[in-house]
Chains A and B, each alone.
Chain A
Amino acid sequence: MRGAAVAGPSGPGAPVLDPVLDPFADVAIRPADEPDPVWLVVVWDDPVNLMSYVTLVLRRVFGYPRERAEELMLRVHHEGRAVVAEEPREQAELHVAQLHGYGLQATIERDV
């Protein structure tokens, strides 16, 4: 689809750039009216972190109530991983960094 505009002065009716001439052709582009992509924060099971510790960390990092944090912790424990948040990339990166600070194995992945 060519109806894509580089982030910036764009929007409906913005000129469509020829990809051959477009100096930003290698920049990730998406339609201006498309919502920001969602990124997933995934926590992985490991044999060291205590279940109570994982619950505590999820409560602290995301502000989840105890029941929600325990539900996610159990999903990590039983399924090997759990998506603990879906959010814009910058926020997801921040949360992964915080989870790493607490010692959890966490990654980001793009929602597809």
Chain B
Amino acid sequence: MAGLERVRDGIRLRLDASEVDVVASLAEGLARRAEGADAGQQDAVLDRLAPVASRGDAGADAELRPMLRDELLGIRVVRLDDLAELLRAEEPSRDVDGFDRVLDRGTAMQVVEALNDLRLALAATIGFDGTSRDELPDDDHRADAVRLMDALAWLQGGLIEYVETDPPR
């Protein structure tokens, strides 16, 4: 079960093997999707990662957005592959089945950003409108995705709290 713990030289992140597999697989899948994007391709997920740059001014958006799209998707490919690689790296301790490492601030921030990409992608996939998990019927097809988004948000929030805390002097 996922866990976060502040320790002297960083924040300790623990994920069990199945959690590693889910998060890393999502990251790899989204990275490949961003990598294979064609210019002008309609894709709600990729459109959320490279959103409109100007509302109410189609000319400005048409000028700016295509310039940014490749760069924004390229950033995601690197970031998501880095997350998957971090999570799947061989553990230093053979006793660990999953992920159990202390992250420094820089790495924690990279994980925060990648988790955000995953949450944005899940939200775009199911057309998430802010409806909470409690409001969804159990048989709603969005329930599992919202549950996963909540779990990733919990991890992300804990890491943000660590990143935002002033380092000890």
Q: Is B truly associated with A?
A: yes
A interface residues, Cβ below 8 angstroms from B = 42, 47-50, 52-53, 55-56, 66, 93, 96-97, 100-103, 105-110
> Min CB distance, B156 to chain A, in Å?
6
Chain B residues with CB under 8 A of A107? 52-55
Chain B residues with CB under 8 A of A97? 68, 71-72
5 new A-B contacts at CB < 8 Å, known A100-B50, A103-B116, A105-B52: A49-B120, A97-B68, A101-B75, A106-B53, A109-B55
Q: Which listed residue (A47, A53, A55, A93) contacts B112, Cβ 8 A?
A: A53
| Distance in angstroms between the alpha carbons of A55 and B160 in the assembled complex | 10
Known: A48-B123, A53-B112, A53-B116. A109 touches B153 (CB 8 A): no
Contact B128 A47 (CB under 8 A): yes
Closest to A97 in B: B68
Contact B129 A47 (CB under 8 A): yes
Contact A48 B75 (CB under 8 A): no
> Min CB distance, B43 to chain A, in Å?
16
> How many B residues are at the interface, by size bracket?
20 to 34
Name the prevailing secondary structure of the B interface residues: helix
B40 at the binding interface (Cβ < 8 Å): no
Contact A109 B50 (CB under 8 A): no
| Distance in angstroms between the alpha carbons of A102 and B156 in the assembled complex | 13
B149 at the binding interface (Cβ < 8 Å): yes
Known: A93-B64, A109-B54. A52 touches B161 (CB 8 A): yes
21 contacts across the A-B interface (CB closer than 8 A): A48-B119, A52-B161, A53-B112, A53-B116, A53-B160, A56-B112, A56-B160, A56-B164, A97-B72, A100-B49, A100-B53, A100-B68, A100-B72, A103-B116, A105-B51, A106-B51, A106-B53, A107-B55, A108-B64, A109-B55, A110-B57
B56 at the binding interface (Cβ < 8 Å): yes
> Min CB distance, A30 to chain B, in Å?
17
Known: A102-B113, A103-B116. A52 touches B54 (CB 8 A): no
> Min CB distance, B152 to chain A, in Å?
10
